[in-house]
Amino acid sequence: MLITVRLSVETHRRVQEIVRSRRYDSPSAFIEVAIENQLIAEEDGEPRWGTRVGRGDTSEGTASPEAVPPDKQIKRGRPAVDHRPREAGRSALENLRGKLGTSSGDSGPVPSPMAAAPELAGDWPWGQWNRFLPLKVIGRCLLRAAEERSSWPTPEVAFGLISEMALAAGLALVESDRLAKRGRDDALATSFPTADPGSISRFQAHYAGRIASGKPRPGAICVYQLAALTETELGLTPEGLTFARLPNPLLDGTGTPSRVLSDDEREALVDLIARNVPGERQAFEVLLAAIRRGCTRFEELVLATGDAVPGKWTSQVLKTQVAGTLARMNDLGLTDKVRQGRRVIYGLSKAGNKTLMAWIKNESIGVQRVGA
């Protein structure tokens, strides 16, 4: 079927730039995977090891804007932009630290941690979740809310706070990227929303979750076992509390400003993935092993992963999954990457090689090998 799509000049330029990086075969291929990703988001499907991309139950999908009263749309994660002037002499990043930094909370008592949902962690995490910093921001939001109330917030309250802080983080990191002249590959603002209400709602739904037809639809932070979402509250698990309290280079002004995670945060997430997120560990093992065998280009890694996945996925969905996983591994310091012209060469870092060897030797965690 042939469908004509009208794009703005700027959108077309950005699409062409991505296509020229050879991540996609053509603009049509890029648009196809964009549509598939949006279908996944709308229908609550997630890529699974050994199956085609899930399509979910459309009967309980998001209601159309026309069917939702304006006040309900606002409560679902579309807060008004905060136009209050910044404190004199402070950058957007400094203002963000004032809200989410370790010294910004009142350190009051927090409720008992919530129980994680292990059944969410068995599948390959969605490729659109390509950074871990959003999980840190959400964790700090929930921690601050719990300290203020001595209880976990309701989903309505949590989503509003998360949307507000995610927008503040996005604007602050865009400013930081601009001042530091960071390119697209190194931008810290990746994954965070802009002032567009649609991007704010997507961030909330993808990373925190949502309530659809009265039922919780957990986001990335729940898949990674850092939080739990019910009909009445969104709160941190024991691992989530520990992760939220760890100092962060960006939010707390510690360490290297261009680092999104500290060494302690990286170690905590790698340990969590090894123990409690088998879908992610399996994806990491496949890609780390492929890099160790000499697959250093994106196209080679896609082929290596395709051989390891027993299910039938489209090539574009597989590329999205691999790209997202590579970005997450880079966040954790498990891989190195060097740009050569328009191509990126991937390598195994010392931490990545150490992690892979430890996982191969330690079979007690019981993650089944892909294709076994």
**pLDDT band at residue 212 using 50, 70 and 90 as cut-offs:** very high
The confidence score (pLDDT) of residue 14 equals 78
DSSP per position, 147-182 = HHHSSPPPHHHHHHHHHHHHHHHHHHHHHHHHHHT-
Instruction: Average the pLDDT over each of 107-111, 156-160, 329-333 and give the range with the smallest value.
Output: 107-111
More confident residue, 224 or 342: 224
More confident residue, 260 or 89: 260
| 110: pLDDT strictly greater than 70 | yes
Segment 256-284 shows an average pLDDT of 91
More confident residue, 20 or 371: 20
The confidence score (pLDDT) of residue 183 equals 84
**pLDDT band at residue 72 using 50, 70 and 90 as cut-offs:** very low
Residue 283 near residue 17 (C-beta atoms within 8 A): no
Report which DSSP code applies to 297: B
| 77: pLDDT strictly greater than 80 | no
Residue 279 near residue 124 (C-beta atoms within 8 A): yes
The answer for residues whose C-beta is within 8 angstroms of residue 331's C-beta and 6 or more apart is: 131, 132, 133, 260, 261, 266
Helix 315-331 to helix 278-292 angle (10° resolution) is 90
The confidence score (pLDDT) of residue 53 equals 36
| 136: pLDDT strictly greater than 90 | yes
| 119: pLDDT strictly greater than 50 | yes
The confidence score (pLDDT) of residue 60 equals 33
The structural domains of the chain, with segments of one domain joined by +, span 65-276, 277-364
| 293: pLDDT strictly greater than 50 | yes
> Which residue type is seen at 68?
V
Segment 311-338 shows an average pLDDT of 90
| 73: pLDDT strictly greater than 50 | no
**In this structure, is the dihedral angle defined by the CA atoms of residues 38, 43, 48 and 52, taken in order, positive or negative?**
negative
Output the CA–CA distances (angstroms, integers) from residue 344 to 5, 261, 321, 326, 340, in the order listed.
30, 22, 17, 11, 6
**pLDDT band at residue 200 using 50, 70 and 90 as cut-offs:** very high
| 201: pLDDT strictly greater than 70 | yes
Which two structure tokens, joined as six digits, stand for 225?
A: 């076992």
More confident residue, 17 or 228: 228
Residue 57 near residue 49 (C-beta atoms within 8 A): no
DSSP per position, 101-155 = STTTS-----PPPPPP-GGGSSSPPPTT---SHHHHHHHHHHHHHHHHHSSPPPH
**pLDDT band at residue 310 using 50, 70 and 90 as cut-offs:** low
The overall average pLDDT reported for the chain is 80
For 277-364, the fitting CATH number among 3.40.630.30, 1.10.10.10, 3.40.640.10, 1.10.3720.10 is: 1.10.10.10
Segment 114-130 shows an average pLDDT of 94
Q: Calculate ∠ Cα 30-33-39, nearest 5°.
A: 140
| 154: pLDDT strictly greater than 70 | yes
**In this structure, is the dihedral angle defined by the CA atoms of residues 88, 90, 96 and 101, taken in order, positive or negative?**
negative
Give 2-61 pLDDT, tens digit per residue.
788 888 777 887 787 777 665 566 787 778 667 765 654 454 444 444 443 332 333 333
| 256: pLDDT strictly greater than 60 | yes
Nearest Cα residue to 236 out of 367, 116, 123: 116
More confident residue, 71 or 227: 227
More confident residue, 342 or 363: 342
- Residue 363 CB: number of other CB atoms within 10 A? 9
> Which residue type is seen at 182?
R
Give 155-181 pLDDT, tens digit per residue.
999 999 999 999 999 999 998 889 888
Give 182-196 pLDDT, tens digit per residue.
888 788 999 999 878
